[in-house]
Structure 1
Amino acid sequence: MAQIAFILLCHKDPEGIIAQARRLTAAGDYLAIHFDGNASSDDYARLREALDGNPSVTFARRRAKCGWGEWSLVQATLNAVEAAVAAFPRASHFYMLSGDCMPIKSARYVREFLDADDVDYIESFDFFKSDWIKTGIKRERLIYRHYFNERKNKWLFYASMNLQQRLGLERDIPADIEVMIGSQWWCLRRQTIEAILTFIRSRRDVMRFFRTTWIPDETFFQTLVRHLVPDREIRTRTLTFLLFSDYGMPAVFYDDQFDLLISQNYLFARKISPDAKRLKAQLAELYVTPDAQFQISDEGRNLYRFLTGRGRVGRRFAPRFWESEASLGRERELMVIVCKKWHVAKRLTERIRQMTDVPALDYLFNEDAAELPDLGGIQTTLSKRTRHRRALMRMLFDYHGTNRMVICIDPANIELLHDFCSDRCTTRIIEIQCSFSDDYLAGHAQRVGLAGPATPPETLARLLPTIRFDMRFESEQIRDADFPNLTRLREDGPPEENATALGRFLDMPADQAQTLLQIDYLFTD
């Protein structure tokens, strides 16, 4: 019967990893763990202390410092695979997992499934002919050398690529391989894993090539398996149930989705919500139930497409069924600057970026040209950002690797404030109350299309009181909403009072906030 060595890549939640390791090994499986070299050394020590005595658990000998899209993710996988091959000679299959994966079948079912067909399970679609890549660069991932991380050093990433393009520094793909692409969540037989390890020791040219490609975890194993294994012994699919929206956002599973998950034609599922404690307990119990029966309906993907489609046109079947990343996260702090004068708020965010390590973004829900990283397409238009605001914010927290973030919102967007304040994260708001001269209001009327250069002065004179009242009304709405953690910074307010308000908003000492506010031109129009 199949013996599985799970390859677990993880970077947080040591208690969850310990529980997962004990659950899998109690059912007779093996586990090789790679814990990110960037992660807490205390967390790693806790893992070693809890699991070193378990003969069915091993750790990668070297910990790579992993970065999204980098070769380091492949190196981490190889480190864990080598440890598993050496430690578990009886393992017949090697199965890639992440820390938020859970089994959705019993251990007996999983082994019988793998025994039924002597094949490898890995997505491997033709890199150039398939439409697996939906957005972003494609052939540039391969033909140019990538030394910088697009998420961490966006400017350098694209500057380097553009320079290579201008200088004609395209490189050839190794002639005897056909590059494939697919999900990183695979299950491979022992003979395939051993063939890959032998190949990488002898083919340094291929290793050099993949080390400087972009997002090689989607191409490296997918290409080598197709190169080394006959087509008849490959099933081009993953055994891990995972879903992505049109914008590249992963669907998260919750407590009410147990029956849905176990009816899918998959062995594991990703991502299980950290808050889905009942679902995790049910799946853990299911894995060690030898006589569990499963009725496979496999409707998950079609149901997801249908329900998200209804959501896009306002006809969702239920208030939350397949919400993707429904909460920003209980541990996170979202700090919102509300100001009608956008240039004032932008001066403050620039100062925050200069003097703190807190990411501060400008009017991302108001300006099409807001400076945002590539998040799979969700950031491309204002309508997408607003429609998927919580998912967008969660992706931005993940992109910047932080639990604290500042954004700017126009006071007209009060529905966004209500939404963020109802989230489980901590939301703090500071309203910057500015004075509005007639000249400023006239300029504002032109900027928003209420007036033009040729508008008669008398028409403008009748319009300005209405605009002034509208701005006052927006401020009153914010006050009447009684938002928790709301403070105000006033243009005509005493400096000490404004510093206290900003300090409370940013959770910093008042003297530091006073230094941050020392901008002579903050309120200048």
Structure 2
Amino acid sequence: MTRIAFILLAHKDPHGVIDQAERLTAAGDYVTIHYDQRASDEDYRQIRDALAANPAVAFAKRRYRCGWGEWSLVAASLAAVRHAEQRFPLATHFYMLSGDCMPIKSAEYTRMFLESDDCDYIEAVDFDEGNWIKTGLREERLIYRHWFNERTQTRAFYLSLKLQKRLRLTRPTPHGLQMMIGSQWWCLRRQTVEAVLALIDQRPDLIRFFRTTWIPDETFFQTLVMHLVPKTEVRRRSPTFLMFTDYGMPVTFYNDHYDLLLRQDYLFARKISPAALELRERLGAVWQASGVSFAISNEGPRLFRFLTERGRVGRRFAPRFWETDRGLQCENVIGLIVAKKWHVAKRLTARIRALTAIPTVDYLFNELNAELPDLGGIASSVAQRDRHRRALVKLLFEEFEAEQLIMCVDPSALPLISDFAGERSRARILFIDTDFGEKYLRGHMKRIGVAGDGTPDEVVERLLPIVRGDLQHEAERLRDMGFPHFEVISEQAGTAINAAAIARFLEVSDEIAQDLAATPHLFSD
């Protein structure tokens, strides 16, 4: 039977800590608490007194003064883990939590989840190649020694680092270990915890190394677990749901996030606002519930990114170095068919290929299969095409041996459109203006990950006007750019007006333009 020993790291909100411990143990599990020594002694006594009669609650034998990025966070975790391992012999799993965490699944569901797969859950990616660190120190975290805290002893921290660099006082990583990095919120099996504790007892060099590593809570357990446990028995993801803002700060959840949290494929969530009392109460009730099924849609990160990025417009102010002297010539004519409904644009390009000799490709910056000729490695991935966009288009002109090229572009790619329109080439734009019915919008939301099959209909209904507004705003921005050769076709305009716009865009005869405008089911969904 699965029994969980929760390792609860807290530094504030004694009432919340007490409630969390009582809630978790009421379901038959255990809790070991480390309460930061920086916190009030009165608060700590309050917690101990309130939980003294609960045999399923224990306290780390030593309290550490914890500082962000310091070894003290790992030391506190180890103290609590070691005591929990000794105090609760029936515990099968050890789950690391903070005082800001709350369950987003029931205890019943959590046990079934852990029983269904005999493995450890810990985010662990390769330190050097995983691209987990977005900003700040990278290899310097490991190869130099850090005795000072960057936040509270900034001058000493960077002075020490600068001195070590000048004197080349680097150090190797511990022998035999591949350094890993990831979130500190994990769930490990008893045998894994026992193996980690035994390893650090056998190898004091590990503690010496990580004690002076910067932000070791992101590398210590991650590295040792991957060193000790076969890869097939590790799921490299945290069981705790958390998101970060553009500024590297954790996203805080409030009362209106209840439905969103329950739909994520995680067991707990961090971090819950202390002021979100209603959310905490409702999630606490979820943990105690039985016979509850959860519809998993997992749209949280994409939905957050979608909502926070609305209105932001990217800009590119300078060419990349590889694009120097690779610009398009003034005799080149680029035709951009800009359409949100890709299937409509593709119907038109297919018809252009059938009726004319004008080389035409589809969404080459969005899809691998875009009716491209074989161009070698430069076109092997969408990301690579975008990095070398001008060189790619120049190659296409050379490959087709043509002075005119038509390609499809999504209206959200306004920087790309501006990029080509600002080239020495003569750029023409044909905007396919389409209506967005509810059925299309629902499908679009699924395609971009804002909603999934399990997303409740009331959530989708609230998002529909937002998504529709964004698509309309894309069209407005495109029109407002004032491109000199800008044509529009639409279902409402009729065949004659559309044919005239296509004739100007492609520089083809009226007869061909008429045939193109009359493409069967051109605007159909």
**TM class by shorter-chain length?**
0.5 to 0.7
SS state of the match for residue 151, structure 1?
coil
SS state of the match for residue 114, structure 1?
helix
Structure 2 residue aligned with 1:94: 94
Structure 2 residue aligned with 1:60: 60
Taking structure 2 as the reference length, what is the TM-score of the superposition? 0.59
SS state of the match for residue 257, structure 2?
helix
State the one-letter code of the partner of 1:34. H
Pairing 1:140–2:164 present: no
Cα distance in 2 for partners of 1:85, 1:311 equals 51
- How many residues get paired? 314
Larger Cα Rg: Structure 1 or Structure 2? 2
Measured against aligned partners, the alpha-carbon deviations of 1:98-143 in whole angstroms (never above 9, x if no partner) come to 0010000000000000000000000000001111000001000000
CA drift of 1:250 comes to 1.1
Structure 1 residue aligned with 2:14: 14
Structure 2 residue aligned with 1:172: 172
CA drift of 1:63 comes to 0.4
Cα distance in 1 for partners of 2:239, 2:46 equals 30
Measured against aligned partners, the alpha-carbon deviations of 1:384-440 in whole angstroms (never above 9, x if no partner) come to xxxxxxxxxxxxxxxxxxxxxxxxxxxxxxxxxxxxxxxxxxxxxxxxxxxxxxxxx
Residue pairs, 1:273-422, within 5 angstroms: 273-310=273-310, 312=312
Give the 4+ runs in structure 1 shifted more than 3 A.
Answer: 311-314
Q: Could you say if the C-alpha distance between residues 311 and 270 of structure 1 is closer, same or farther in structure 2, counting changes exceeding 3 Å? A: farther
Measured against aligned partners, the alpha-carbon deviations of 1:251-270 in whole angstroms (never above 9, x if no partner) come to 11111111111011000001
SS state of the match for residue 292, structure 1?
coil
State the one-letter code of the partner of 1:61. K
Structure 2 portions without partners, runs of 5+: 315-525
SS state of the match for residue 295, structure 2?
coil
SS state of the match for residue 284, structure 1?
helix
Cα distance in 2 for partners of 1:114, 1:285 equals 20
State the one-letter code of the partner of 1:258. Y
SS state of the match for residue 237, structure 1?
coil
Cα distance in 1 for partners of 2:293, 2:209 equals 46
CA drift of 1:37 comes to 1.1
Pairing 1:225–2:201 present: no
CA drift of 1:311 comes to 5.2
SS state of the match for residue 310, structure 2?
helix
Measured against aligned partners, the alpha-carbon deviations of 1:27-53 in whole angstroms (never above 9, x if no partner) come to 111000000111111111111111121
RMSD: 1.1
Structure 1 residue aligned with 2:199: 199
Measured against aligned partners, the alpha-carbon deviations of 1:38-78 in whole angstroms (never above 9, x if no partner) come to 11111111111111211000000000111110000000000
Structure 2 residue aligned with 1:402: none
Q: Could you say if the C-alpha distance between residues 158 and 261 of structure 1 is closer, same or farther in structure 2, counting changes exceeding 3 Å? A: same
Structure 2 residue aligned with 1:120: 120
SS state of the match for residue 210, structure 2?
helix
Structure 1 residue aligned with 2:153: 153
User: Percent of aligned pairs with the same residue?
Assistant: 63
Structure 2 residue aligned with 1:480: none
SS state of the match for residue 252, structure 2?
coil
State the one-letter code of the partner of 2:258. F
Pairing 1:256–2:220 present: no
Cα distance in 2 for partners of 1:175, 1:75 equals 21
Measured against aligned partners, the alpha-carbon deviations of 1:213-259 in whole angstroms (never above 9, x if no partner) come to 00000000000000000000000000100000121011111111111
CA drift of 1:312 comes to 3.5
CA drift of 1:313 comes to 5.3
Cα distance in 2 for partners of 1:311, 1:170 equals 45
SS state of the match for residue 152, structure 1?
coil
Cα distance in 2 for partners of 1:153, 1:271 equals 27
SS state of the match for residue 5, structure 2?
strand
Cα distance in 2 for partners of 1:135, 1:104 equals 30
CA drift of 1:175 comes to 2.3
State the one-letter code of the partner of 2:85. V
Measured against aligned partners, the alpha-carbon deviations of 1:250-300 in whole angstroms (never above 9, x if no partner) come to 111111111111011000001111121111111111111111111111111
Cα distance in 1 for partners of 2:80, 2:251 equals 27
Taking structure 1 as the reference length, what is the TM-score of the superposition? 0.59
Measured against aligned partners, the alpha-carbon deviations of 1:198-226 in whole angstroms (never above 9, x if no partner) come to 00001111111111000000000000000
Structure 2 residue aligned with 1:183: 183
SS state of the match for residue 8, structure 1?
strand
Residue pairs, 1:19-30, within 5 angstroms: 19-30=19-30
Cα distance in 1 for partners of 2:170, 2:32 equals 38
Instruction: Say which is worse superposed, 288-297 or 181-190, in terms of deviation.
Output: 288-297
SS state of the match for residue 32, structure 1?
strand
